[in-house]
Amino acid sequence: MVSKDQNIKYLVQVQNKMIETIKLKVPSIACEACAKTITQAIKTHESDAEVKVDVDRKIVSVKTDASEESIKQMIEAVGHTVE
């Protein structure tokens, strides 16, 4: 099992840019409209981000070089709660 730290170092070596998939549990997601709102909020700030929202499991996956903290803030700014 490779630790998260080692994975990050590996990515930095390969791409010289850190692109991680951030997964966040967002319990306030209730429907596709919520998914759309969250996707648009993230894309407004990070146009290169790849955003996937699993409405049933209430999980937001973001492939981005932005920090987890900044993605959390973008989701909270549109009225959703990150666990």
Stretch that binds Cu ion, among 13-21, 29-37, 40-48, 61-69 (CB under 5 A): 29-37
- Long-range contacts from 35-39, C-beta under 8 angstroms, 24+ separation: 37/78, 37/80, 38/75, 38/78, 38/80
Q: Count residues contacting Cu ion (CB under 5 A)? A: 4
Shortest CA distance to 64 belongs to which of 83, 81, 43? 43
Q: Does 56 bind Cu ion (CB under 5 A)?
A: no
Q: Which is nearer to Cu ion, 12 or 78 (CB)?
A: 78
Summarize as ranges the residues that interact with Cu ion (CB under 5 A).
30-31, 33-34
